[in-house]
Chain A
């Protein structure tokens, strides 16, 4: 089963949750254990099933306007439904957090 590595570049505090549904349709979620690499960069990996649709949800807390970038590796085998890889956005100037979602599949 392929392993996906997530790298988050931001001064914001992130949390990534990867989910799928089991055979009975119940959601199964796991938090990506992000570890600091250096200032403003964190990375973590999880193992996912081949050719199955997974959902990625992220929450970043930080100062208004803070930008962030989430990269899913290996980039040539991960396909996001909507976003470009890396995912880039920012916290709105009127909020202290941002959240987003997408679906992805990993080729073997």
Chain B
């Protein structure tokens, strides 16, 4: 980690000195993994951005809360997606089918009579969110309510307005109360007492909130390549991923631990084949990878911590790929907010074993729970 700190500092200084690179992130919270980068065969700058996509359940992660057909614009390509969700007492099951938008025709086809589209991906995800209620009977909620209502009265939360942490903070801020007093009042607001003891305990420690997530995806991509001596061949082997995550939510922070296994394909270097156009000196050329795409397996284990503060947030993430035996880390610092006050950009430092750290300015979707 000391090496990371040294390289991160160097990267940040380089960033300030010149060459601020601005990256638009589709999934900013996902950390770098070499295998993913290599598989995509991108340029160096693209690699650094794409390297963050350790998760293969992106389509489900971004799935809406209801059944929907949607089109999402991506950096590489726009994707059409059909997603279906079903809620039950056991959790939420979401299925999403996605394929790149057909830019030439009016309609994008997921399946035809000849089979699936050239590039199609099926995601399945089961998510169970739950509060831990084992200690619920021991919490003195009437005492908590009386104390909270007294706090809201004392700090002039308007009558008719809900007595919540948000409204209490708003009222105290509007009244010009010092931040230390606000912090103390909120601490009192978030603290409960256990029956039989007078010891104050944070509410989310007594009633913890966590979620479990199991996801998987299967993707099919038609790849065309040159085979020696010069024949053209096709390949549509399936890529897949399986992942499991556990998350614990606190007042202003979130911890996520996840393990995944995934198979992708890395296309070979391209070669060019040219043929003379009849009755001319012109040539028609075709560029395709030379040789079959290589299998890239990875088993990434990741730990991520997100922390919100008054005007910024950080979301450090550590990853280790047991298959490739490579470690990676990323440290996004969110500083820029949108018109709604949500954090949507800042500075990020990415580090990967055996490579130099990279610092860049990024813009992303609002930082949130997911």
Q: Which residues of A contact B (CB under 8 A)?
A: 11, 13, 15, 17, 19-21, 26-27, 29, 31, 35-36, 38-40, 55-57, 59, 61-65, 81-84, 87-103
Cβ-closest chain A residue relative to B149: A82
Residues of B within 8 A of A26 (CB): 195
The reply to whether A98 and B164 form a contact with Cβ atoms under 8 Å apart is yes
Interface size class of B (residues with CB under 8 A): 35 or more
Residues of B within 8 A of A64 (CB): 308, 342, 366-368
* Bound form: Cα–Cα A49–B144 in Å: 21
Within 8 Å of chain A (Cβ to Cβ): is B18?
no
- Minimum CB–CB distance for B174 against chain A, Å: 14
Within 8 Å of chain A (Cβ to Cβ): is B322?
no
The reply to whether A101 and B341 form a contact with Cβ atoms under 8 Å apart is no
**Stretch of B33-41, B100-108, B251-259, B346-354 lying at the A interface:** B251-259
- Minimum CB–CB distance for B163 against chain A, Å: 5
Using an 8 Å CB-CB cutoff, how does the interface string of B150-164 with A read, 1 for contact, 0 for none?
001000010111111
Residues of B within 8 A of A90 (CB): 166
Query: Which of B145, B340, B341 contacts A19, CB < 8 Å?
Result: B145
The reply to whether B141 and A100 form a contact with Cβ atoms under 8 Å apart is no
The reply to whether B369 and A61 form a contact with Cβ atoms under 8 Å apart is yes
CB-contacts of B329-358 with A (<8 A): 340-342
The reply to whether B162 and A88 form a contact with Cβ atoms under 8 Å apart is yes
* Bound form: Cα–Cα A27–B142 in Å: 7
Within 8 Å of chain A (Cβ to Cβ): is B273?
no
Q: Which residues of B contact A (CB under 8 A)?
A: 64-66, 87, 89, 129, 131, 133, 136-137, 139-146, 148-149, 152, 157, 159-167, 169, 189-190, 195, 203-204, 207, 209, 249-254, 308-310, 340-342, 366-370
The reply to whether A89 and B209 form a contact with Cβ atoms under 8 Å apart is no
Query: Which of A19, A55, A56, A98 contacts B165, CB < 8 Å?
Result: A98
The reply to whether B166 and A82 form a contact with Cβ atoms under 8 Å apart is no
Please give me the 3 A-B residue pairs with the lowest Cβ-Cβ distance, nearest first.
A100-B164, A63-B368, A39-B66
* Bound form: Cα–Cα A90–B166 in Å: 7
Query: Which of A36, A65, A97 contacts B204, CB < 8 Å?
Result: A97
For the complex with contacts A15-B131, A59-B204, 18 further pairs of A-B residues with Cβ separation under 8 Å are A26-B195, A27-B139, A39-B65, A57-B141, A59-B131, A64-B366, A65-B340, A82-B160, A84-B161, A87-B162, A93-B341, A96-B252, A96-B253, A96-B308, A97-B250, A99-B189, A100-B165, A102-B163
The reply to whether A55 and B145 form a contact with Cβ atoms under 8 Å apart is yes
What are 28 A-to-B residue pairs whose CB atoms are below 8 Å?
A11-B65, A15-B131, A26-B195, A27-B139, A35-B89, A36-B87, A39-B64, A39-B65, A39-B66, A57-B144, A59-B209, A64-B366, A65-B342, A81-B149, A82-B152, A82-B162, A83-B163, A90-B166, A91-B166, A92-B165, A93-B341, A94-B309, A95-B166, A95-B252, A96-B249, A97-B250, A98-B166, A101-B163
The reply to whether B66 and A100 form a contact with Cβ atoms under 8 Å apart is no
The reply to whether A27 and B341 form a contact with Cβ atoms under 8 Å apart is no
Cβ-closest chain A residue relative to B68: A39
Interface centre among A26, A38, A63, A93 (most CB of B within 10 A): A93
The reply to whether B369 and A63 form a contact with Cβ atoms under 8 Å apart is yes
- Minimum CB–CB distance for A41 against chain B, Å: 10
The reply to whether B308 and A95 form a contact with Cβ atoms under 8 Å apart is yes
* Bound form: Cα–Cα A90–B170 in Å: 11
The reply to whether B167 and A89 form a contact with Cβ atoms under 8 Å apart is yes
- Minimum CB–CB distance for A100 against chain B, Å: 3
* Bound form: Cα–Cα A99–B168 in Å: 11
The reply to whether B144 and A101 form a contact with Cβ atoms under 8 Å apart is yes
The reply to whether A83 and B162 form a contact with Cβ atoms under 8 Å apart is yes
Cβ-closest chain B residue relative to A19: B141
* Bound form: Cα–Cα A40–B141 in Å: 26
Query: Which of B145, B159, B164, B253 contacts A89, CB < 8 Å?
Result: B164
The reply to whether A19 and B342 form a contact with Cβ atoms under 8 Å apart is no
